[in-house]
Amino acid sequence: MAVAVPAPQPERARRNAAIDGLRGIAALSVFAFHAWLYTLPEVRAAGSRDASPLAAFTAELRIGLVLFFVLSGYLLFRPWVAARLGTGRRPRLATYAVHRVGRIVPAYWLAIVGSVLLLWPLAGAPGVRLPPVEQLPLFFVFLQNRSAETVMTLDPPMWTLAVEAAFYALLPLLAALAWRARPTRAGQALVPLLALGLGVAWNRWLSGFEIPPATLAKSLPAMLPYFAVGMLTAVLVQGRRLSGRAALLLAAGGLALVTGDMWVHASAEAGTPLAYRLRVIRDLPAALGFAAILAVAVARPPALLGARPLAWTGEVSFGLYLWHVPVLLWLRARGLMPVSPLGAVLVAFPVSLLAAWLSWRLVERPAIAWSRRTRRLGANPPLSPAAPRSAGTARSHTRSSAPGAAPSPPGSPPRHARA
């Protein structure tokens, strides 16, 4: 008997506003951190105006990048989990690759060019770190983290995009391994747990350096535990709903883990055994806390996370992530922004949000639409009338389906992910 295929839903109906809200929180957290960092007299992450608890807490808002990585791990791995557990179709690699390119590359390339135009004339200004001009091509192929002369230069948060791109390339291999495992939650959890262990082992090795090279510390292996936690979340929440009490307890526990991680990092003194342990586990407790909150957003979306202003910020979060540091640096160098965190927020945030909206409307959304309709490289093959929608042709990583629906491979996004 033929099965009728439901008519496509409007785009807004297919979004999980709570996940957009989490993206919004991640982007706002990263912006607030940089509003503090890039108004310091000496722009360096270890610097601080004072030793006050407020300054220490503000410095720990960098934690938003961990949330972006967790979201990417969840949203990218979920289609394969759904397919293996029998609730979706196995993603096509061509479709996955084209969706990833359409989602991040055009907006990212534009931000590289924009950063060069805005910041190159400001060489020597506080916070402006420019790479050698002959190494600019590394940025366009996501290899800036491989060189000590380019990592954390130009638009510094872009280092996380290089990590994201590396994860995009690795994920099909991880998914292929998971496909060989048993089609049970326990079987599908093996690969995320393996990735988690490998990432922790890498950071354990890095802890032996007095000062780990940035090219190693800002790498996919170092960040792999965060992606792995997101992948594990995809396994654990697939097809599940939460009671109100369970959701409340899970969200409260997740929030406690995140704030506890921030407090421990803010209070740890260099050279102590605690500081050494933190170099191994890094922000893994916060990643677990974010995963708990993400599970609530998926299995019982709270209205607070889906509030329209927050969800809209999440919708444009990729552009906000890409453009806010060049905006902060340019406004400071031109004397157009008070050199204080509050002044940076009041002046630079509206400008950054405008740049993000323009990026979304003029670049990201058209590129996403192209990536979903093109047949190049065998992407987006037409489906037979009786076939369910392929997880490989589902939403991009900045778009997440409602609970129970198979979303697309993302990317937040951090999805940029990003700090």
Q: So what's the pLDDT on residue 44? A: 76
Distance of alpha carbon 44 from alpha carbon 36, whole angstroms: 10
- The answer to whether residue 349 sits within a structural domain is yes
pLDDT at 194: 98
Q: How far is it, in rounded angstroms, from Cα 398 to Cα 107?
A: 13
Provide the pLDDT for residue 14: 63
Given a contact cutoff of 8 angstroms between Cβ atoms, the answer to whether 412 and 68 are in contact is: yes
Distance CA 207, CA 281 (A): 10
pLDDT at 46: 59
In a domain, 332, yes or no: yes
Does 139 reside within a domain?
yes
Residue 41: what pLDDT? 87
pLDDT in tens, the chain (419 residues): 333 333 334 344 468 999 999 999 999 999 999 999 999 988 876 555 456 777 888 899 999 999 999 999 999 999 999 999 988 889 999 999 999 999 999 999 999 999 999 999 999 999 999 999 999 999 999 999 999 999 999 999 999 999 999 999 999 999 999 999 999 999 999 999 999 999 999 999 999 998 999 999 999 999 999 999 999 999 999 999 999 999 999 999 999 999 999 999 998 888 889 999 999 999 999 999 999 999 999 999 999 999 999 999 999 999 999 999 999 999 999 999 999 999 999 999 999 999 999 999 999 999 999 999 999 888 899 876 545 444 333 333 333 333 333 333 333 334 333 34
pLDDT of residue 51: 61
Asked if residue 138 is part of any domain, the answer here is yes
What b/e string do you get for 304-330 counting C-beta neighbours within 10 Å, with b at 16 or more? ebbbeebbbbbbbbbbbbbbbbbbbbb
The verdict on residue 5 lying in a domain is no
Task: Quote the pLDDT of residue 269.
Answer: 86
**pTM of the full predicted structure?**
0.88
Q: Is 112 helix (H, G, I), strand (E, B) or coil?
A: helix
Sequential DSSP letters for 71-94: HHHHHHHHHHHHHHTTSSPPPPHH
CA dist 410 and 146 (Å) reads: 24
Domain annotation covers residue 347: yes
pLDDT of residue 57: 85
Nearest Cα neighbor of 81 from 6, 183, 225, 13 is 183
Classify 301 as helix, strand or coil: coil
Domain annotation covers residue 31: yes
CB-based contact 419:64 (threshold 8 Å) = yes
Angle ∠(344,39,134) on CA atoms, nearest 5: 105
DSSP 243-258: -HHHHHHHHHHHHHHH
Domain count, the chain: 1
- From the list 111, 166, 102, the residue with the least C-alpha distance to 319 is 111
The answer to whether residue 250 sits within a structural domain is yes
How many angstroms from the chain centroid is the CA of residue 77?
Answer: 14
Q: Which domain holds residue 81?
A: 15-378+387-393
